[in-house]
Amino acid sequence: MTETHPWRRYVALGDSFTEGIGDPEPGSPGGHRGWADRVAEVLSASVDDFAYANLAVRGKLLQQIVDEQLEPAIALKPDLITLSAGGNDVIRPRTDPDVIASRLDGAVERLAATGATVVLFTGVDTGFSPVLNRLRGKVAIYNENIRKVAQRHDALVADQWALTEIQDPRMWNVDRLHLAPLGHHTVARMVLATLGVENDLQPMRPEPLPPRTWRQARSEDLVWAREYFVPWVIRRIRRVSSGDHVLPKRPEAAPYASGPRGPAL
């Protein structure tokens, strides 16, 4: 086997983005695949003793990720760590991206001290989104802070802001908050490029859904508002999270194995 990268033990930290919500795969742990599983699949293909853990849980705020995931991650002795955190904080009203970033800095300092390669994520440019476009400036400020944190601790940056392909509506789940399988596939390609790992993942495969008519799009708007947006607002008011009582899908570092898959999307 020809080894194409130096990593043997990968641990992913974060929220729903890293858990893989929006990329259902019933045979996989937790019932979701996601970009991190896709990255682990590629990394495991050229290393005999590769192990992977995913501690991410949907709905988690940055401080919850720090409190609940950092020490278990460090205990697994990874040499590669991905951390995507703070997005759920940024979208909340009256939160300060500078304060959020200061918490991130402390977390990254602890992770970097292990000697592992650490990968951070900027947020998506939300200018295209009718749901989140008003947060564009706030996301941009947080992104600049993420880049400063990465520079300070010699971390890599997986730059979603520059990933213009992700702004295609077909990349997104029907809830408009999480990536669809095609979006997770696209992010996986970007992460592997950030790591400098050659791979066979091809653009736009899995194939995108066919274009929608205007009438279909408007009908989906109504369904989305009723089934996703209103419940999301209610959870914010009640201060509950979709991740309450949810456990990490891959809590131990183990050889990567995916479940049975359905047809490619």
The answer to whether position 260 is within a domain reads no
Angstrom CA distances, 88 to 162, 177, 242, stand at 20, 11, 11
Angstrom CA distances, 41 to 35, 105, 188, stand at 10, 29, 10
Whether the pLDDT of residue 159 is over 50: the answer is: yes
Tell me the per-residue pLDDT of 19-38, one tens digit each, with 9 for 90 and over. Answer: 999 999 888 888 899 999 99
How far apart CA 222 and CA 229 sit, in angstroms, is 10
Residue 231: which pLDDT band, with cuts at 50, 70 and 90?
Answer: low
Whether the pLDDT of residue 238 is over 50: the answer is: yes
Give the sheet arrangement for strand 80-84, strand by strand. Answer: 156-158, 117-121, 80-84, 9-14, 51-54, 250-254
Note the helical H segments in the chain.
Answer: 16-19, 34-44, 62-75, 87-90, 97-112, 136-152, 181-195, 214-224, 230-238
Query: In the predicted model, what is the mean pLDDT of residues 129-138?
Result: 90
Average pLDDT of the chain, as a whole number = 86
Model pLDDT, residue 204: 84
Please report, rounded to a whole number, the percentage of residues in the chain having pLDDT higher than 90.
66
Assess contact for 108 and 83: CB atoms under 8 A: yes
The answer to whether position 264 is within a domain reads no
The answer to whether position 205 is within a domain reads yes
Q: Is the bond preceding residue 206 a cis peptide, omega within 30 degrees?
A: yes
| Predicted TM-score (pTM) of this structure | 0.83
Q: For the chain, how big is the Rg over CA atoms in Å?
A: 18
CATH (domain of 248): 3.40.50.1110
The answer to whether position 263 is within a domain reads no
Long-range contacts of the stretch 41-44 (C-beta < 8 A, 24+): 41/256, 41/258, 42/188, 42/192, 42/197, 42/199, 42/201, 43/5, 43/7, 43/10, 43/80, 43/197, 43/256, 44/255, 44/256
The answer to whether position 52 is within a domain reads yes
Model pLDDT, residue 192: 98
Model pLDDT, residue 102: 97
Residue 242: which pLDDT band, with cuts at 50, 70 and 90?
Answer: low
Residue 129: which pLDDT band, with cuts at 50, 70 and 90?
Answer: confident
Angstrom CA distances, 95 to 17, 89, 90, 117, 142, stand at 20, 7, 6, 29, 11
The answer to whether position 262 is within a domain reads no
For the chain, the domain total comes to 1
Whether the pLDDT of residue 41 is over 70: the answer is: yes
Phi, psi angles (nearest 5°) of residue 74: -60, -35
Angstrom CA distances, 221 to 91, 218, 264, stand at 20, 5, 26
The answer to whether position 130 is within a domain reads yes
Whether the pLDDT of residue 47 is over 70: the answer is: yes
The answer to whether position 28 is within a domain reads yes
User: Which structural domain range is residue 55 located in?
Assistant: 9-254
Tell me the per-residue pLDDT of 208-230, one tens digit each, with 9 for 90 and over. Answer: 445 555 455 455 444 544 555 55
How far apart CA 175 and CA 180 sit, in angstroms, is 9
Whether the pLDDT of residue 195 is over 90: the answer is: yes
Indicate the DSSP class of residue 205.
Answer: -
Indicate the DSSP class of residue 199.
Answer: -
The two three-digit tokens of residue 81, written as one number: 């760590």
Indicate the DSSP class of residue 225.
Answer: I
Would you tell me how many other CB atoms lie within 10 Å of the CB of residue 29? 18
